[in-house]
Amino acid sequence: MTIIPTRKSIFMLAVFSAGLGLVTLTSAATEAAEKPAIEVITHAGAGGGTDVNSRMMMLRGRRTLKQDMVVVNKRGGGGASAMNYFMSRPVDGNTIMTFTVGHAITMSKGKTKLKVSDMAPLARGTNDPQILMVNCKTSPYKTPENFVAGMKKGDKLKFGGTQTGTIDHITVFLWAKRLGVPMPTYLSFKGGGELATQLVAGSIDVGTLNLSEAAAPVEAGDICPLVILGEAGMGPIPKAKTAKALGIDLVLSTTRGFVTHAGVDPARRAELEKGIAKAMQHSMYQAYLKNSGLDDTSPQPSGPWGKQIKFMVGEFGPALKEMGLIK
């Protein structure tokens, strides 16, 4: 399996591709200048994962939509600032927000007045399934089935994830709930790199990771992925099985996609969706996915993306309440 490049290398790919994009956009510049620029709102600073994802879509999006696009970074509140700004913009089809799993959690916590019904999904851009991984050398679980059986019989395990109240934390809670067992001990770490290191060191029994976060130790045979909380298996980790294949109905991912206002004219929404989808089919966006450890199943149309948004917000609120993280 190929080691996944760092965030810095992905950002540099975006910068390099942007330079190429400027060369190819000359013929469309006049037509684009006649229309107002589309604001693409992100909650991340320059170089952050969501910012890079937005810019990679925009490279060809400007061309497919024949309209300029500009990033508007609104940081703060776990996406609350971006969502509040989105709500303040005209409902004219010239505003797009990059919506993430973090936004869904912030909505579930009631930190913004934005509702699912206020948004019209356009397309999903990236999807990185949550994966439950163990230490290959020290874990007693050698197969996904062994792992599930062990938890069901009451094995006391220490799970690790990034921070509290995050997708990792919620994943551990929902996984245990689906199995009908109490919430395991959960230890939080600053990031995926530290989490993977601690799993190798034996500080935890199970790590809640994305493949991109643990590519090097997985390739080295130090970490073994067991359960993929995705719709399908993953080529680089053929021994891991989806939760659904194990009879457990749970699909959770670190995900990003694009939405506009619900009140936008349907014809304009269709135009935006078509243009964004075509932009993400381009080789530059596909190269970005590959370099991020993702594949061409990440981009999805508005239908599946809208269902995923509703599922996330619908699941996260009750889960966070049961976890005692919100009232």
List, for residues 55-67, the tens digit of each pLDDT value. Answer: 999 999 999 999 9
Confidence of residue 4 (pLDDT cuts 50, 70, 90): very low
Three-state DSSP at 107 gives: helix
Say if residue 18's pLDDT is above 90. no
Chain segment 233-279, per-residue pLDDT in tens: 998 999 999 999 999 999 999 999 999 999 999 999 999 999 999 99
Domain ranges within the chain, ordered by starting residue: 7-127+255-318, 128-246
In 3D space, the residue among 255, 252, 262 whose CA is nearest the CA of residue 316 turns out to be 252
- Residue 80 and residue 86: Cα distance in Å, rounded? 10
Helix (H, G, I), strand (E, B) or coil at 176: helix
Between 27 and 76, the higher pLDDT residue = 76
Identify the pLDDT of residue 12.
52
pLDDT of 25 over the 50 cut: no
Average pLDDT over every residue of 229-234: 94
Question: Under CATH, what is the fold of the domain 128-246?
Answer: D-Maltodextrin-Binding Protein; domain 2 (3.40.190)
Tokens of 266: 């349907």
Domain 7-127+255-318 has CATH 3.40.190.150: yes
pLDDT score for 292: 87
Confidence tier at 3 by pLDDT (50, 70, 90)? very low
| pLDDT at residue 199 greater than cutoff 80 | yes
pLDDT of 20? 46
Question: Do 7-127+255-318 and 128-246 share a fold?
Answer: yes
